Every structure is written in C-alpha cells, then in structure tokens.
Amino acid sequence: MSRVRLPAVVSHPVRLLPLSFLMLILVGTLLLLIPAATTQSGSAGFVDALFTATSAVTVTGLATVDTSAYWTPAGQGIILFLVQVGGLGIVAISTVLGLFIGGRLGLRTRLVAQTEMHVVNIGEVRPLFRRVAVIMIGFQLAIAALLTIRYREEYFETWADALWHGYFDAVMAFNNAGFSLNADSLTTYAGDGLIILPICLGVFIGAMGFPVLAELFKDWRNPDRWTIHTRLTVWGSIMLLVIGAAAFMALEWSNPATLGALPWHERIISGIEGGVMPRSGGLNSFDWGAVQGETLSMGTVLMFIGGGSASTAGGIKVTTFLLLGFVILAELRGDPEVSIGNRSIGPAVVRTALSIALISVMLVTSTTWLLMLLTDFSFEDVLFEATSAFATAGLSTGITPDLPHSAKLVLAALMFIGRVGTITAASAFVLRRRVTRYHLPEEQPIIG
C-alpha cells in the first residue's frame, strides 16, 4: 500500500456514476412522459415511464408494457437513445475505474506518478473514451448491417423498416439490453440462424467488456501473454456458453413449448440462444415462462454470474465467479496463496470478490422475499425476475406487466443498484489504498 492521495478523477467517477445515472433516468422518464412518446391517450403512466427509463439506462430490458404497442416510434427512439448512452456510459466509466484498479494498458504507472503531484491529466482519459465509443459503435453497425439484410430479405417489405429493426436490435444485442420492437421479442425469428446468431454474437461480444476487447484487438494471437483478467473472461465466457447451451438443449430438447416444436437444426440455434441470453442478453425467441423448472434455475444461476467486467452485461461478473472458484481450490488444496496461472491474487482482491458475491446474494434474496410479500406469483418466477433485475439481464417468465406498482418500483431500484452498485463496490477497492497506522492483535474464531 503506497502513501498515495487519491486524485479527484478517481473519487469522482465513483461518486459521479450513481448521480449521472440517476439524472439520465430522470431525463428519460420525463421524455417518455411526453404524450407523443406513447400510443395511449394522454401521456404514459408515471411508474411505467420510470420503470422503462430505468430498464433502458441500466441496459436491462425488463418491460412492464409492450414496447411495440405502448410506445410510438418516438418513444422507441427515446428507449434506443437511453440504451445507447447508458451502455456507453457504463463501459467507459467502468473501464477508466478498472484502469485505476487493475493497472492494465500500461496507464497505471503514469497515473500514479501524476497522482503524487496531485495533478491528473484528463487528456489521457479522453482518447480512451473515444476508443471505447468507436469500438462499441463499430460492432453495433456491423451487426445492424447483417440483421438489416436478412430482415429485408425475409421479414420486412421496405428497407426503411428492415433498417430500423436491424439497427434497434443490433444496439439492444450489443448493449445486452432486452427491449424489442415486436410484442413477442424474437419469437417470429425462432430458429432463423441468420437473425438469432448475429444477435447472440452481439450479446456475447458486448458482454466481454472493453478492457478485454481492447487487449484482444492488440494481441489476440498470443493467449499466453494475455492478462489474467482477459484469460479469465475469455475462457470463462466460452465455458459458460458451452455448458449453458449444452444443458439448455439437453433439458429442453423434447419440451413442446420450447425446442420440441422446432426441427432439429433449429433446436441447436435456439439452444445456443438459451446459453447466451441469460449471460445478460434479455432477448428471447421462446417463452422462458414455459421452460422446465431445472432450466429456469440454471438460467437464474447464469444471470447471477453475468458477463465480463466493464461490459454492458450485469451480474457478479465472470472474473468474480471464477476467482471465487480459485479461492475455493486454494482452500481445499491448503495452498497459502491463491494463484491463477503463474500469478498470485492478493487477499484484498479476494475480500472484494467475496463481498460482491455476498452482497449480491443478499440483494437478490431480500428482493425475492419482498416480491413474495407484494405479489402472489410462484417462488421460482419471482426469484428469476429479481435475479434478472439485479443482473440487468432482462429475461422474464412473463410476470413483469402484471406486477403491482410497488413491485415495479422495487425492481427498478434493484436494476439501478445492480448496475451501479457492483462497479462502485469494485471501486471502493481503490479507496482502500491508504496507510494503515496500526495493526490490531489477530484472533481466529472457529469457522464452520
């Protein structure tokens, strides 16, 4: 621990993040309350506008109303804008915080040097923000192009319609936000690999997170030289995708309400979707309310884990999840240090990971409990919904529109906390770099 005072830019984003997101949600709510935004007579309901704005800004995708019928194209454009700004904001801010935390991309030493003079050159951060925006929007445009061509070919009469749907869906996919211009999300396209697979690719890449994408761009040929963070995220994401898709197919293969209705090659496409989407995508070509109980619990666990750090995905994050696995491994083996590859992981990081996991469990558990008090839905539906909100995943068994106002507000709060909270918690780690002036005597309570 070095004797470093924190520069304003570090403590700033940490405090600024919740505030700026709150502002954005407020602006979004007001915009959605404009009568032209809704097809209803008068303006939209306040709670629904607030919920939709929160869901969009946190790139979740849970919807209390039918996006295609309740909102006009103007309203849908506002949602698109909120998702775009929210997604960029999350990735950019958490990337900058990540640099301070993890010292990746070689920036850390420079920043520390500046810190000691209590001067930070904001000019060093701006090109990074620009790079984040260019990479993210580039990916979105590429996927939008693929979708537009297929939409024009198969589903829409005009290029204008195809482009609007293609661009909207690409932005949603890459930002891991689950809003759709169709009442039934992707159901019309179920089994169409030229639609489902690009969308899944968008979700998967968006869920990697900017630091990983940036490192892959620079050095994808040499997996041996990747940082631990990139290795954990890449291999962990692939592992979760393969396990999730395989288990989904095994459980749902003969379920007539989901995969069972499709020819076998389309079942594989939907199976891949079933493995990708809970990693925080939120779009669906089949009904999550109709899957087996076992599939629903698996989806709950996948949503809870979520995607990569500094990405548009939520959850406790792949690195946190894998790191905790390595901690358990070290504990069972009796190793004095937690090591991954040939790097050791310090106890402060272990403590942060632990805290994030436990706070998340407590948040989801207490929200589930609250929703049980407020509604009559089944335990598994309510647990799935709460996990989806916390992990900003956006999947639902279909109960969202039927929730009472109180439950909608609880879920909106959880989306906000789930999105802003884990980043803030991770950043608190930075704030701990301070001088310890004394040590208390140690004592070891019996554990277990």
Binding residues for K ion (CB under 5 A): 60-61, 176, 178, 280, 282, 393-394
344 binds, among its own copies, K ion, none (CB under 5 to 8 A by kind): its own copies
Smaller CB separation from its own copies, 162 or 371: 371
User: Can you read off the two tokens belonging to residue 135?
Assistant: 């990479």
Q: 345: part of which helix (H) or strand (E)?
A: strand 343-345
Of 264-293, binders to its own copies (CB under 8 A) are 293
**Which string of x and - marks every residue 98-117 that binds its own copies (by CB under 8 A)?**
x--xxxx-------------
The CB density around residue 359, as the number of other CB atoms within 10 Å, is: 15
Tokens at 234, concatenated: 């890449």
Q: What are the residues whose beta carbons fall under 8 Å from the beta carbon of 206, sequence distance 6 or more?
A: 87, 136, 139, 173, 174, 175, 176, 307, 311, 312, 313
Helix (H) or strand (E) holding 340: strand 338-340
The only residue of 116, 153, 154, 294 in contact with its own copies, by rule CB under 8 A: 294
Q: Is 144 in the site for its own copies (CB under 8 A)?
A: no
Among 297, 405, 409, 413, binds its own copies (CB under 8 A): 297
Q: Rounded distance, CA 94 to CA 24, Å?
A: 17
147 binds, among its own copies, K ion, none (CB under 5 to 8 A by kind): none
Q: Is 48 or 381 the residue whose CB approaches its own copies more closely?
A: 381
C-alpha distances in angstroms, 144 versus 157, 167, 198, 441?
Answer: 17, 5, 9, 60
Nearer to its own copies, 67 or 312 (CB): 312
Calculated CA dihedral for residues 10, 12, 14, 16, nearest 10 degrees: -160
In angstroms and rounded to an integer, the radius of gyration of the C-alpha atoms of the chain is 22
SS3 label, residue 208 = coil
> Which CA distances in Å does 442 have to 387, 439, 445?
37, 8, 10
Could you give the CA distance from residue 259 to residue 266 in angstroms, rounded to a whole number? 8
Q: Does 6 bind its own copies (CB under 8 A)?
A: no
* Near its own copies by CB under 8 A: residue from 122, 256, 264, 443: 443
Binders of its own copies among residues 417 to 436 (CB under 8 A) are: 422-423, 425-426, 428-429, 431-432, 434, 436
Identity of the residue, 75 or 307, whose beta carbon is nearer to K ion in the bound complex: 307
Site string for its own copies, 54-83 (x = CB under 8 A): ------------------------------
- Measured CA to CA, the distance from residue 322 to residue 259 in angstroms comes to 30
Smallest gap from Cβ 8 to K ion, in A, equals 32
Q: Shortest Cβ distance from residue 162 to its own copies (Å)? A: 38
Give, as ranges, the residues between 222 and 261 that touch its own copies (CB under 8 A).
Answer: 227-229, 232
Residue 61 binds which of K ion, its own copies, none (CB < 5-8 A, kind-dependent): K ion
Between residues 158 and 444, which has the closer beta carbon with respect to its own copies?
444
**Beta strands 343-345 and 338-340: pairing type?**
antiparallel
Residue number with CB closer to K ion (166 or 178): 178
Give least dist CB 229 to its own copies, A: 4
Q: Least CB distance from residue 30 to its own copies, whole Å?
A: 31
Q: Whose structure tokens read 């994030």?
A: 356
Residues between 321 and 380 with contacts to its own copies, criterion CB under 8 A: 323-324, 327-328, 330-332, 334-340, 342-359, 361, 365, 368-369, 372-373, 378-380
**Window 177-216: contact mask with its own copies (x via CB under 8 A):** ----------------------------------x-----
In the numeric block, the tokens 């929210």 are attached to 86
Cβ–Cβ < 8 Å for 89, 20: yes
Exposure class string for 108-133: b at 16+ Cβ within 10 A, else e: eeebeeebeeeebeeeebeebeebbe
By CB under 8 A, how many residues form the interface with its own copies?
83
User: Exposed, middle or buried by CB within 10 Å (0-12, 13-18, 19+), for 197?
Assistant: middle
> Which does residue 337 touch among K ion, its own copies, none (CB within 5 to 8 A, set by kind)?
its own copies
224 binds, among its own copies, K ion, none (CB under 5 to 8 A by kind): none
CA 233 to CA 207: how far, in whole Å? 10
CA-nearest of 105, 101, 104 to 433 is: 101
CB of 176 vs K ion, minimal distance in Å? 4
Nearer to its own copies by C-beta: 106 or 441?
A: 441
Is 2 near its own copies (CB under 8 A)? no
